[in-house]
Structure 1
Amino acid sequence: MNQMTSYALIFNPHAGHNGATSVANHIAQRIKAAGHQALKQPTSKPGDATTLAFTTLADVAVAIGGDGTINEVAAGLVKRRRPPKLGIIPQGTVNNLARVLHIPLNADQALDNLLQGTPNPLDIGMVNDHVMISTMTLGVLANAAVSVSQKEKQRFGPLVFLVRGLRSLSKNQHWHLAIKGAQKTWERNTAFLLVTMTNSVGGFLNFAPQAKFDDGMFHVFVAPELTWRRTFLLIPYFLTGNFSKLPGMTYFATNQLTITSLTSRLKSRVDGDPRDRLPLKMRVISDKVEVMIKPA
Structure 2
Amino acid sequence: METVYLFVNPFSGKKNEKDLTQHIKESFLQHGFLEQNITIVTPESASDAFEKAKEASRKGIDLVIPLGGDGTINKIIGGVHEGGHHTKIGLIPSGTVNNFAKSLSIPLDPDLAIDTILNGQDKKVDLCKVNEHYMISSLTLGLLADIAANVTTEEKRKFGPLAFLKDSYRILKRNRSYYLTLVDDNGQFAIKTKFLLVTMTNSIAGFPSFSPSATVNDGLLQVYTMKKVSFMKFLLHINDFRKGDFSMAEEIKHFSTKKLSITPSRIKTLILPRTRIDGDKSDMVPVSLTVLNEAVTVRVPHS
* Contact 2:237 2:248 (8 Å CA) reproduced: no
RMSD of aligned residue pairs (Cα, Å): 1.7
Give the structure 1 partner of residue 80 of structure 2. 77
Give the structure 2 partner of residue 151 of structure 1. 154
The offset of 1:244, in angstroms, is: 6.1
* Contact 1:166 1:232 (8 Å CA) reproduced: no
Q: Which runs of 4+ in 1 moved over 4 A?
A: none
Residues 172-251 of structure 1: pairs in structure 2 closer than 5 A = 172-183=175-186, 185-243=188-246, 246-251=249-254
Does residue 20 of structure 2 align to residue 17 of structure 1? no
What percentage of residue pairs aligned between the two structures are identical?
35
Q: Which amino acid aligns with 1:287?
A: E
Give the structure 2 partner of residue 66 of structure 1. 69
Does residue 291 of structure 2 align to residue 284 of structure 1? yes
Q: Secondary structure at the match of 1:5?
A: coil
Does residue 52 of structure 2 align to residue 45 of structure 1? no
Alignment TM-score, normalising by the size of structure 2: 0.91
* Contact 1:66 1:94 (8 Å CA) reproduced: yes
Q: Which amino acid aligns with 2:279?
A: G
Task: State the Cα deviation string for residues 88-138 of structure 1 (Å, max 9, x = none).
Answer: 111111111111111111212110011012211111111111110111000
The offset of 1:64, in angstroms, is: 1.2
What CA distance in whole angstroms lies between the structure 2 residues aligned with 1:244 and 1:259? 25
* Worse overlay, 221-230 or 202-211: 221-230
Residues 25-40 of structure 1: pairs in structure 2 closer than 5 A = 25-36=22-33, 37-40=37-40
What CA distance in whole angstroms lies between the structure 2 residues aligned with 1:6 and 1:125? 27
Give the structure 2 partner of residue 130 of structure 1. 133
Give the structure 1 partner of residue 302 of structure 2. 295
Give the structure 1 partner of residue 54 of structure 2. 54
Give the structure 1 partner of residue 279 of structure 2. 272
* Contact 1:166 1:231 (8 Å CA) reproduced: no
Unaligned runs of 5+ in 2: none
* Worse overlay, 197-206 or 13-22: 13-22
* Worse overlay, 105-114 or 229-238: 229-238
* Contact 2:9 2:42 (8 Å CA) reproduced: yes
The offset of 1:53, in angstroms, is: 1.2
What CA distance in whole angstroms lies between the structure 2 residues aligned with 1:41 and 1:62? 10
What CA distance in whole angstroms lies between the structure 2 residues aligned with 1:255 and 1:80? 24
What CA distance in whole angstroms lies between the structure 1 residues aligned with 2:237 and 2:187? 24
* Worse overlay, 235-244 or 32-41: 235-244
Change (3 A) 1:233 1:178: farther
Unaligned runs of 5+ in 1: none
Q: Secondary structure at the match of 1:286?
A: strand
